Structure 1
Amino acid sequence: MSTGDDARVVYEVSLDLDASIADAYRAWLDAHVREILALPGFIDGRVSEVIDPAAAEGRVGLCVHYTLRDAAVLDDYLREHAPRMRAEGQARFGGRFLAQRRVMRVVSDVGVR
C-alpha cells in the first residue's frame, strides 16, 4: 500500500475522437505514449477503447492510463513536456478530438499480478 506524497499516481487522459480520424489518431497515439513512457519516472501506460453503447454516432472514445512514480514526476511532465506534446496533437488533428485529464493517487494494489 502506498500513502503520502511519494505515492504512485495514475494520470488519465480520456479522448473523444471523430471516427474519421480514429485509425490515424491511434497510430499517432501509440508513438506519443511510447515517447512519454521514455521520460524518467513513468512506469507504464495503457491505451483502451471506451465501450459505451450511448456514445454519439461517429465518435470513438479512447482512454490512456499512465502510472508514474510520484506526483513530482507528473509536475515535471506538465511543466516541461506537456505543452509541446499537446500542441503536436492539436497541430496534427485540430478540433477533431477532445481530451479530458484527471490524476489519481494509488492507495492500494489489490489483485495486481
Structure 2
Amino acid sequence: MIIYNVTSNVDDSIHQQWLEWMMDKHVPDIMATGKFYKIKIVKVLGDEQHGGTTYSVQYTAENREKLDEYYRDHSPKLRGEMKQLFGDKVLQFRTELELVQEFKMV
C-alpha cells in the first residue's frame, strides 16, 4: 500500500472556497481516476506560524503502479486546476509513504 500525501497550507482568504472545492470537486475527480481506493482529508492541529490553515490529504493506492499511472495520466491536469483556481494562496509539498505495518485494537 502506498500513501500519496499532499500537505497544503491554505490562505485564510480562500480557506472555505478551497475546502468546499476539495470535497465537492477535486477529491471526487481523483476518486474517478480509479487509482486510489481511499482518500482522507485531515486538518493539521496547532498554531500555524505563518498563518492560514494546514491540511494533509492522504490518497491511498494499492501499489506503486497505480500511483505512477496517476502521476502520468491525471496529475498534470488536476494540479493545473488547483493552480489556476488558487494560485499562490495554497502552498503544497508532497510525500510518498509506504505502509510497513498497521496495528489496530480489536
TM-score above 0.5, yes or no? yes
Instruction: Indicate the residue corresponding to 1:34 in structure 2.
Output: 28
1:112 CA drift (Å): 7.0
Q: Is the 8 A contact 1:41 1:70 kept in 2?
A: no
Amino acid at match of 2:3: V
CA–CA distance in structure 2, aligned partners of residues 23 and 11 of structure 1 = 23
Deviation readout 1:15-50 (Å, 9 max, x if unpaired): 011111100000111121121112223110110111
Deviation readout 1:48-79 (Å, 9 max, x if unpaired): 111122x1353110110111010000000011
Superposition pairs for residues 26-65 of structure 1, below 5 Å? 26-30=19-23, 31-53=25-47, 55-56=48-49, 58-65=51-58
Is the alpha carbon distance of 1:58 and 1:48 closer, same or farther for their aligned partners in structure 2, counting shifts above 3 Å?
Answer: same
Amino acid at match of 2:65: A
Is the alpha carbon distance of 1:91 and 1:52 closer, same or farther for their aligned partners in structure 2, counting shifts above 3 Å?
Answer: same
Instruction: Indicate the residue corresponding to 1:93 in structure 2.
Output: 86
Instruction: Indicate the residue corresponding to 1:12 in structure 2.
Output: 5
Gaps of at least 5 residues in structure 2 are none
Amino acid at match of 2:87: G
What is the aligned length?
105
Is the alpha carbon distance of 1:92 and 1:45 closer, same or farther for their aligned partners in structure 2, counting shifts above 3 Å?
Answer: same
The structure 1 segments of at least 4 consecutive aligned residues displaced by more than 6 Å after TM superposition are: none
